Amino acid sequence: MFKGITLVSWSRRNGQAGLLNPGAVWSGLVWALMSTVFICTALMLWVFMTAGEVYHFSVLLKAGIGIGALLGGAVSGKTAGYLGWLHGVTVGFIYFLAVLLLLIVWSNGLSTLPVWFGYGLALLLLSAAGGVAGVNISAASRSSSINSRQRKRFPV
């Protein structure tokens, strides 16, 4: 049932695996932030193009932040190729701190802070799941590229 799914890979072919790949964490964080900026820009364009009086975007913004965490974890796991859950959690934690900082700067107070810590746990879980998925996506693409090289080509 779980054949071919990598949850933890402790070593590589060339020796012991490093704990974290900073480039993978950075690329995942950039993807997470840029996907959230894209979603916020799309919502802002929706407000400019429609003539509504009141917009309730809180659920859409939270979903966009969750999608950003999932994408960031997946990109970091795919870039690293190993320990996707750790890369995903690292991206999710840094991303949560960035979102929390924006919340503190632009809100009137810290009254919603306990709710956001619960939401931060959800972001960590989403980004870890994205990291695991990213490692397995990269493993699937590596195996399919090997198969495509081994496949005999017909002369045209």
Chain segment 26-61, per-residue pLDDT in tens = 999 999 999 999 998 998 888 888 877 777 888 888
Residue 100, domain member (yes or no) = yes
Residue 10, domain member (yes or no) = no
Question: Domain residues for 73?
Answer: 20-148
Residue 66, domain member (yes or no) = yes
Residue 9, domain member (yes or no) = no
pLDDT reading at 120 higher than 60: yes
Q: What is the DSSP letter of 36?
A: H
Residue 13, domain member (yes or no) = no
Query: How many domains are contained in the chain?
Result: 1
Packing angle between helix 113-150 and helix 58-80, nearest 10 degrees? Answer: 40
- What is residue 34's predicted lDDT score, i.e. its pLDDT? 94
Residue 136, domain member (yes or no) = yes
pLDDT reading at 114 higher than 80: no
Residue 75 Cα distances to 4, 92, 105, 136, angstroms = 19, 12, 28, 11
Residue 144, domain member (yes or no) = yes
